Amino acid sequence: MEYTERGKLSIKTEFTSRKRNQIIVSISLIAMIILFVVFGENPDHVMLGMPATVWGPAFVVLFTGGIGFSLFNWRCPACNKYLGKSLNPKFCSKCGAPLT
């Protein structure tokens, strides 16, 4: 599919925003996993004034939300199809829209 220069710019701008959001969510999820592993070893440990029994379910909810956001966010701005596992695609493998 052919895109106008204005359309390409719009797609690239939206992709840049989605990529930034994806990186923020990915870093947050990795940090959360590390904290859960480090502090989850001792069930009596208190983190931020809350016991590990509270952090376990909170971790599951936050992790599930992060994955859900990622599936919603990481889509082609042109065709809204999932972009796959690559963090830096140059174009959409479904519609061919230029992303960078």
Q: Is 96 helix (H, G, I), strand (E, B) or coil?
A: coil
pLDDT digits (tens, 9 = 90+) for 9-41: 999 999 999 999 999 999 999 998 887 777 666
Q: Which of 10, 1, 4, 33 is nearest to 99 (CA)?
A: 10
Half-sphere exposure of 67 (CA within 13 A, CB side): 6
User: Distance between CA atoms of 35 and 69, rounded to whole angstroms?
Assistant: 20
User: Distance between CA atoms of 22 and 20, rounded to whole angstroms?
Assistant: 5
Q: How many domains does the chain have?
A: 1
Stated pTM of the model: 0.80
pLDDT digits (tens, 9 = 90+) for 43-100: 666 766 777 677 778 888 989 999 999 999 999 999 999 998 888 899 999 998 999 8
Domain that holds residue 27: 1-100
